[in-house]
Amino acid sequence: MEITVKYFGILADITKKKEESFFIDDESNTLKLLQSKIEIKYPKILVINYSIAVNKKFLQNDISLKNNDIIAFLPQFAGG
């Protein structure tokens, strides 16, 4: 299945990408496993506090992903 991952803010700077696709098999389709793959590919993001949204919703990282899901890696935002 194909999953789209979008990176925002400093995470886009670290990955040098705003978006990329991952092809994952049905046995490794959890958000937690995808997150691990991305952290191995881009180890510098391990020092950044970030949240992950699946199809614009914040969910637990043990959920199963589906074909064409859009995953957003969002750094913490300052605001007021």
Cα gap 64→11, rounded to integer Å: 23
Identify whether 80 is part of a domain.
no
Cα gap 47→20, rounded to integer Å: 21
Per residue of the chain (80 residues), what is the pLDDT tens digit?
Answer: 999 999 999 999 999 999 999 998 877 799 999 999 999 999 999 999 999 999 999 988 889 999 999 999 999 877 65
Identify whether 41 is part of a domain.
yes
Identify whether 23 is part of a domain.
yes
Cα gap 53→61, rounded to integer Å: 10
The CATH number that applies at residue 10 is 3.10.20.30
Give me the number of domains the chain comprises.
1
For β-strands 19-23 and 50-54, DSSP reports them as unpaired
pLDDT at 79: 66
Identify whether 68 is part of a domain.
yes
Q: Are 7 and 19 in contact (CB under 8 A)?
A: yes
Q: In terms of residue numbers, what domain contains 20?
A: 2-75
Global confidence as pTM: 0.90
Identify whether 69 is part of a domain.
yes
